[in-house]
Amino acid sequence: MHTSLVIVGGGPAGMMAGLLFARAGVPVTVLEKHGDFLRDFRGDTVHPSTLELFRELELRERLLERPYNKVTHLSARIAGRIMRTADFTRLPVDSRFIALMPQWEFLDFIAKEAARYPDFSLRLNAEATELSRDGAGRIDGVILSDGTCVNARLVLAADGRRSVLRDAAALPIEDLGAPMDVFWFRLSKNQTDENQTMGVFEAGRLFVQIDRGDYWQCAYVFVKGQAEAVRARGLAAFRVEIALLLPVLAFAVNDLVSWDQIKLLTVALDRLTRWHAPGLLAIGDAAHAMSPVGGVGINLAVQDAVAAANILAGPMARGEDVDPLLASVQARRMLPTRVIQRMQKVAHDAIFSTLVRSDAKLVVPPWQIRLLDRFGFLRGLAARLVGLGIRREHIRST
């Protein structure tokens, strides 16, 4: 096979890039190793920055026909007190909320919109395992698990935080460290008029409950590497601990009858110091693995895809050599990556690494959180940072 652009990975970065490059007239093939998008416990926070991109594409209203829950404010229970932390209704954009949308719905929507363009192709059950190179050593495609070679003028590595392609290209990586891991699971709930997503921060315990309408998507945070120790205490003890922490879940915890229902998320915080090699560019989690803090991973990945299309799609459509432009994509996206990861690192070190210890003490909420709760304009600033980010991208590829 041969195409102008091959994108490895059908996640948010890969699918958004596929849509934008095809829209600009670049023949593009997206390779997704699974047979569909139906994988549970993937990030599902579509932030205002992403909603605004779809508004610019005149697709936002169609996107919001898919199932979602609207979140206009964020709050947390910290040391027994409900604290307000972010207010998205103050944002200076049209989309003043977070859409909690199952990722398979989000990806399926993009796939269907991209399929309207004749230059777009999506191949499922197509796992890229190696890079192919020409006689001069330049990357010129990928080799699939069945031995098929897909040649392309450019390879976009969007294959996630365990990227095979970035390893194959020997791209240098900096590990920033993450002190915790997470168990993800579902608990049933009754539908309510208002979204009740909340984080719970108590001494020695961190818990997040994301309101998905008729169920909670829950995150139980613990010290990195202690998954087996938590499991060793037994499922009954795990249920009791959650019920004591959140009495409202006392009956719902009985939904958990097997550890198979509880998925381990190994938290990573790292970034490539060089995102590119001749013939290849990494974006999204393949370029920078984000912590779950702030739920910003999807939205940074989408922003990467937009920046890549803005810089590369036009020249590719004209048949130009884009290798000299690959560094420009990294230069454009490195500042927001560094800023957000720095904030996540501070949160890890100052809050999470302290609270997940069994001997942790938390009598009153941290002063920073008390300020957010007291002053509305600070909650607006927090929402702007989380919801819109740094150096927000706009659709410029045509």
Model pLDDT for residues 50-85, shown as the tens digit of each residue: 999 999 999 999 999 999 989 999 888 888 888 899
Tokens 């490539």 found at: 272
Residue 360: its pLDDT value, please?
A: 61
Using the 3D structure, point to which of 233, 249, 265 is the last residue of a domain. Answer: 265
Question: What span, in angstroms and rounded, lies between the C-alpha atoms of 178 and 312?
Answer: 33
Using the 3D structure, point to which of 214, 234, 265 is the last residue of a domain. Answer: 265
What residue numbers bound the domain in which 251 lies? 180-223+225-265
Q: Could you tell me if residue 393 is inside a domain?
A: no
3-state secondary structure (DSSP) of residue 56: helix
User: Which of the four pLDDT bands, split at 50, 70 and 90, describes residue 204?
Assistant: low
* Same structural domain, 209 and 296: no
User: Which of the four pLDDT bands, split at 50, 70 and 90, describes residue 202?
Assistant: confident
Q: Could you tell me if residue 392 is inside a domain?
A: no
Whether the CB-CB separation of 63 and 50 falls below 8 Å is answered with no
**Mean pLDDT to the nearest integer, 209-218:** 85
Whether the CB-CB separation of 100 and 211 falls below 8 Å is answered with yes
* Same structural domain, 257 and 276: no
Give every CB contact of residue 39 below 8 A, 6+ residues apart in sequence: 103, 104
Q: Could you tell me if residue 106 is inside a domain?
A: yes
Question: What span, in angstroms and rounded, lies between the C-alpha atoms of 13 and 282?
Answer: 10
Question: What span, in angstroms and rounded, lies between the C-alpha atoms of 369 and 392?
Answer: 26
User: Which of the four pLDDT bands, split at 50, 70 and 90, describes residue 345?
Assistant: confident
Angle ∠(121,125,127) on CA atoms, nearest 5: 95
Question: What span, in angstroms and rounded, lies between the C-alpha atoms of 316 and 293?
Answer: 36
* Same structural domain, 219 and 321: no
First to last CA, the chain: 26
* Same structural domain, 343 and 254: no
Beta-sheet strands, E only, within 180-335: 180-188, 198-202, 205-211, 215-223, 263-265, 270-272, 276-277, 280-282, 288-289
Per-residue pLDDT reduced to its tens digit, 290-332:
887 777 888 999 999 999 999 999 999 999 999 999 999 999 9
* Pick from 88, 128, 125, 150: nearest CA to 295: 88
Q: Could you tell me if residue 396 is inside a domain?
A: no
Residue 327: its pLDDT value, please?
A: 98
Confidence check: pLDDT of 90 > 60: yes
- Inter-axis angle of helices 326-347 and 297-317, nearest 10: 180
* Same structural domain, 171 and 314: yes
Question: What span, in angstroms and rounded, lies between the C-alpha atoms of 121 and 10?
Answer: 11
Question: What span, in angstroms and rounded, lies between the C-alpha atoms of 21 and 396?
Answer: 11
* Same structural domain, 88 and 171: yes
Q: Could you tell me if residue 200 is inside a domain?
A: yes
User: Which of the four pLDDT bands, split at 50, 70 and 90, describes residue 268?
Assistant: confident
* Same structural domain, 370 and 230: no
* Same structural domain, 109 and 211: no
* Pick from 261, 259, 253: nearest CA to 231: 259
Whether the CB-CB separation of 255 and 188 falls below 8 Å is answered with yes
Residue 193: its pLDDT value, please?
A: 75
207-216, 292-301, 353-362, range with the lowest pLDDT: 353-362
Angle ∠(197,348,92) on CA atoms, nearest 5: 50
Per-residue pLDDT reduced to its tens digit, 91-102:
999 999 999 898
Q: Could you tell me if residue 210 is inside a domain?
A: yes
Q: In this predicted model, which residue has the larger pLDDT, 139 or 348?
A: 139
**Mean pLDDT to the nearest integer, 127-146:** 95
* Same structural domain, 208 and 287: no
Q: What is the mean pLDDT of the chain?
A: 90
* Same structural domain, 19 and 166: yes
* Same structural domain, 277 and 206: no
Using the 3D structure, point to which of 234, 250, 265 is the last residue of a domain. Answer: 265
Question: What span, in angstroms and rounded, lies between the C-alpha atoms of 305 and 123?
Answer: 19
Confidence check: pLDDT of 147 > 90: yes
Whether the CB-CB separation of 10 and 122 falls below 8 Å is answered with yes
CATH of the domain at 317: 3.50.50.60
* Same structural domain, 171 and 315: yes
Q: Could you tell me if residue 349 is inside a domain?
A: yes
Q: Could you tell me if residue 397 is inside a domain?
A: no
User: Which of the four pLDDT bands, split at 50, 70 and 90, describes residue 353?
Assistant: low
How many domains are there within the chain?
2
User: Which of the four pLDDT bands, split at 50, 70 and 90, describes residue 271?
Assistant: very high
Confidence check: pLDDT of 357 > 70: no
CA distances (Å), origin 86, targets 105, 190, 287, 303, 374: 26, 25, 28, 22, 11
